[in-house]
Structures are given as structure tokens and as C-alpha cells.
């Protein structure tokens, strides 16, 4: 099998970094090149308007208590062009309004959240193509 787990994990981590770097200020900096490098065009087209909407409302992400990513590549199904990453995230980020107060619906503290991310290889570059909640990602942690 020729897919290196390291390169897939690195692409995933760079995608997450892009997301946090883009949404940690008002206005959001959604022109970050990471959106082109680490997300498929289709996924970026789906989620960037949501982040723009938050920014337009004066909401940003404060990493507050930090975020711990614990990704793992799922062994099956895995091909040279498709990989699933499960991540059990310890998420201490919180949404805040432009004045620094908690945004409506935001809850401070650290939450454990499980996710599944599908990555595809486009012309030799791994990109996040889709994601969903996945409680089993935290089952064995």
C-alpha cells in the first residue's frame, strides 16, 4: 500500500489550521490559500458561506482553552485516493461576538467531540472532501 499515513494526517492538520486561522478574527480571513490547498472546491463552497455569515454577524472563534486534535487513519476502506480519518477532538474553543462576549448559544469549557473526515487525493494532494459527526471516534480514547 503506497499511501503514507503521515502525509494524510499532515493534510488534515493543515486543513484544521486553515479553518482556525480563518475564523479567529472579525472579519474572517476566508481568502486563506489553505482553502484551495487542503479542501476540495465543493466542500469549501459549502462551508465558506457559513463562516462568512458568522463573520458578518461579528462572531469569531476564540481558541480560549485550546483544541487538541487526535486523528487516526482508518485502515479500511483506504485506497491510494481515498482515506477516512477519525478524530476525537478535545475542543476548548468558543464562539465570541466582536466585543469579546460569548456569542449566543456558545458554552465555555472543553468538550469531547468525535468526527469522521473523508480525504481524497486530487492530483497528488490530499484534501478534505467531507466530514460528519462520528461518536465512535472517541470510543477507544
At residue 3, the pLDDT reads 61
Mean pLDDT of the chain: 93
Q: Encode the chain in three state secondary structure.
A: CCCCHHHHHHHHHHHHHHHHHHHCCCCCCCCCCHHHHHECHHHHHHHHHHHHHHHHCCEEEECCCCEECCEEECCCCCCCCEEEEEEEEEECCEEEECCCCECCCCCCCCEEEEEEEEEEEECCEEEEEEEEECHHHHCCC
Confidence of residue 1 (pLDDT cuts 50, 70, 90): very low
Compute the average pLDDT of residues 87-111: 95
Model's pTM, two decimal places? 0.92
For 57-73, what is each residue's pLDDT tens digit? 999 999 999 999 999 99
Task: Answer yes or no: is pLDDT of 6 > 60.
Answer: yes
Amino acid at each position: 500500500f503506497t499511501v503514507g499515513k503521515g502525509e494524510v494526517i499532515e493534510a488534515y492538520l493543515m486543513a484544521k489550521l486553515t479553518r482556525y486561522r480563518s475564523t479567529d478574527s472579525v472579519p474572517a480571513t476566508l481568502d486563506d490559500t489553505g482553502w484551495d490547498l487542503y479542501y476540495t472546491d465543493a466542500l469549501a463552497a459549502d462551508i465558506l458561506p457559513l463562516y462568512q455569515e458568522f463573520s458578518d454577524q461579528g462572531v469569531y472563534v476564540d481558541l480560549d482553552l485550546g483544541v487538541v486534535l487526535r486523528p487516526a487513519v482508518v485502515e479500511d476502506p483506504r485506497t491510494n485516493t481515498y482515506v477516512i480519518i477519525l478524530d476525537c477532538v478535545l475542543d476548548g474553543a468558543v464562539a465570541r461576538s466582536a466585543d469579546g462576549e460569548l456569542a449566543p448559544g456558545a458554552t465555555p469549557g472543553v468538550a469531547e467531540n468525535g468526527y469522521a473526515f473523508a480525504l481524497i487525493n486530487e492530483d497528488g494532494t490530499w484534501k478534505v472532501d467531507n466530514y460528519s459527526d462520528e461518536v465512535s471516534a472517541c470510543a477507544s480514547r
